[in-house]
Amino acid sequence: MLIPGQIPNTEPMIRVGIVLPEDKLQSIQISFSDPQCFEIDTGDRLHPACKNNDQSTVNIEDGKIILSDVNITASSIKIIPSIPHDNPFITLKGVTAGRGFHWEKQITASFWGSLEFSIYEDNLMVVNELPLEQYISCVATSEMSPQCPPEFLKAQTIVARSWLLANIEQKHRHLGFDICNDDCCQRYQGIAHCTPASIQSAEATFGQVIMFDDQICDARYSKSCGGITENYEHVWDGDPVPYLVSIMDVNENGIPFCSPEIVPEDTLKSYIGDVDEKGQYYRWTYEVNQAELIHSLKEKRNLSAVKILDLNPTQTGTSGRIIDLLIEYEDEPGDNHVTEIHSEYEIRNIMSHAFLYSSAFTVEKTDDGNFLLHGKGWGHGVGMCQIGALGMAFSKCVAEKILCHYYPNTELRTLYRPLSLK
């Protein structure tokens, strides 16, 4: 596992939780790209993997892990590639994606590196251990098209690596892995999203991170700042972070890098995935109607409103993101109440069932009692603005310049190099 505060000087291995105890699985199907390339470690000795069969099932039975077909029973097992340079992979059927969200589903995913199967509170837990750079090539730019300028892909890759190695959040440390496979940490679906562009970008920036004051930076990023980025402490609890401070995201002529003048909205979809057809990320309007907001207050706050009277922002961050919003409403007996929504995340959650683009908006009441939100930006706005970074790359800026712009006073450093180059 990564050690908090420790800066690696060789490529570390990373542990990613693939099946979590909360998934409540008792069994999972596995298959091998080539069973000859794997061995099974039961703690006391190594066994050959299913020699004559490339499929098997891992079950829990009587508090032990059982690997069918090869008659292995142990308290935990680790399937290890015995010929790692051929990049063999193991496929799992029934991995949870979108954990806890309404789009949660089971997928089939293939993994490089080793897979460790153990039992945690009577449920199956699977951890994928692999070299960090292989992981990075599977996630850093997986949502982006190879048409993106290489300097943008490099900046994005360095940001993803820095965030990972800074290792600030450590949500799953008690379970013995660094990060999970889902949006809770970073979406990782094995090798499915590893593309020629993501491999090239990982190789071109191998071991590179941004640093501030001899610490690896907790490099946050979001889709679009809207023209000004936001301070860390306006979005998350905690002290200000010296390199996560608000900056004007503009070029020498004062034109925002993330504006349609530099990145036309109708072309955005061809660069960055997860963008809707309209691509209105820079300036947008969203109508919240009475029924939607009443339903949202009931569902998310258990408040029984019958009419929303007003929306009053009382505190905004530097980028204009609202961080404190008062909602005035009337209840069934006709009494007026005010509820406070604190944090940009909660505001976006309450204002739209689909999670509002950002909390940087002004409110206009319509004649029929609804609310028109005139907004800008997409996401929390702290650190790198991805669309702005794309705009900078279109404006011939190199990755290092892009990173210095969004993370002021940081420096780019190479922590380790490929073994073959040593």
Please tell me whether residue 393 binds Zn ion under the rule CB under 5 A. Answer: no
From CA 310, how far away is CA 123, in angstroms rounded?
Answer: 48
Token pair for 260? 């349609």
Q: How far is the CB of 22 from Zn ion (least distance, A)?
A: 11
From CA 366, how far away is CA 328, in angstroms rounded?
Answer: 16
Please tell me whether residue 272 binds Zn ion under the rule CB under 5 A. Answer: no
Q: Among residues 16 and 350, whose Cβ is nearest to Zn ion?
A: 16
Other CB atoms closer than 10 Å to residue 198's CB: what's the count?
Answer: 24
* DSSP class per residue in 345-407: HHHHHHH-TT--S-S-EEEEE-TTS-EEEEEE-BS--BSEEHHHHHHHHHTT--HHHHHHHHS
Interface stretch with Zn ion, choices 98-106, 110-118, 299-307, 386-394 (CB under 5 A): 386-394
Q: Which amino acid is at 63?
A: G
How many residues are given for the chain?
422
Please tell me whether residue 385 binds Zn ion under the rule CB under 5 A. Answer: yes
Interface stretch with Zn ion, choices 20-28, 47-55, 182-190, 196-204 (CB under 5 A): 182-190
Among 20, 40, 77, 185, binds Zn ion (CB under 5 A): 185
Q: Among residues 37 and 228, whose Cβ is nearest to Zn ion?
A: 228
Q: Please, how many CA atoms are within 13 Å of residue 327, restricted to the half-sphere of its CB?
A: 26
From CA 96, how far away is CA 32, in angstroms rounded?
Answer: 20
Q: Among residues 49 and 387, whose Cβ is nearest to Zn ion?
A: 387
Q: Among residues 183 and 340, whose Cβ is nearest to Zn ion?
A: 183
> How far lies 356's CA from each of 134, 230, 351, 359, in Å?
34, 17, 6, 7
Query: Per CB under 5 A, which of residues 320..379 are in contact with Zn ion?
Result: none
Q: How far is the CB of 184 from Zn ion (least distance, A)?
A: 3
Q: Among residues 88 and 388, whose Cβ is nearest to Zn ion?
A: 388
Q: Among residues 22 and 39, whose Cβ is nearest to Zn ion?
A: 22
Q: How far is the CB of 174 from Zn ion (least distance, A)?
A: 12
Query: Per CB under 5 A, which of residues 140..179 are in contact with Zn ion?
Result: 171
φ, ψ of residue 36 in degrees (nearest 5): -65, -20
Q: How far is the CB of 404 from Zn ion (least distance, A)?
A: 15
Q: How far is the CB of 150 from Zn ion (least distance, A)?
A: 20
From CA 253, how far away is CA 255, in angstroms rounded?
Answer: 6
Token pair for 204? 């071109």
* Cβ atoms of 258 and 394 closer than 8 Å: no
Interface stretch with Zn ion, choices 46-54, 84-92, 205-213, 258-266 (CB under 5 A): 258-266
**What does the DSSP 8-state code read for residue 249?**
-
Task: Fill in the per-residue mask, 217 to 236: x = in contact with Zn ion (CB under 5 A), - = not in contact.
Answer: --------x-----------
Q: Among residues 174 and 422, whose Cβ is nearest to Zn ion?
A: 174
Among 50, 246, 388, 407, binds Zn ion (CB under 5 A): 388
Q: How far is the CB of 48 from Zn ion (least distance, A)?
A: 34
Among 180, 217, 262, 293, binds Zn ion (CB under 5 A): 180
Token pair for 398? 């190199």
Q: Among residues 197 and 385, whose Cβ is nearest to Zn ion?
A: 385
**What does the DSSP 8-state code read for residue 335?**
-
Q: Among residues 256 and 313, whose Cβ is nearest to Zn ion?
A: 256
Q: How far is the CB of 369 from Zn ion (least distance, A)?
A: 34
Q: How far is the CB of 50 from Zn ion (least distance, A)?
A: 31
Number of residues near Zn ion (by CB under 5 A): 9
Q: How far is the CB of 45 from Zn ion (least distance, A)?
A: 33
Q: Among residues 186 and 339, whose Cβ is nearest to Zn ion?
A: 186
Alpha-helical regions (H) of 193-338: 196-204, 290-301
Q: How far is the CB of 378 from Zn ion (least distance, A)?
A: 9
From CA 143, how far away is CA 117, in angstroms rounded?
Answer: 29
Burial, 7: exposed, middle or buried (Cβ in 10 Å; 0-12, 13-18, 19+)? middle
Among 258, 297, 347, 403, binds Zn ion (CB under 5 A): 258
- Among residues 277, 340, 266, the alpha carbon closest in space to that of 303 is found at 340
Other CB atoms closer than 10 Å to residue 293's CB: what's the count?
Answer: 21
Q: How far is the CB of 124 from Zn ion (least distance, A)?
A: 17
Alpha carbon 127 to its chain's center: 18
Among 97, 119, 168, 184, binds Zn ion (CB under 5 A): 184
Residue ranges that bind Zn ion, judged by CB under 5 A: 171, 180, 184-185, 225, 249, 258, 385, 388
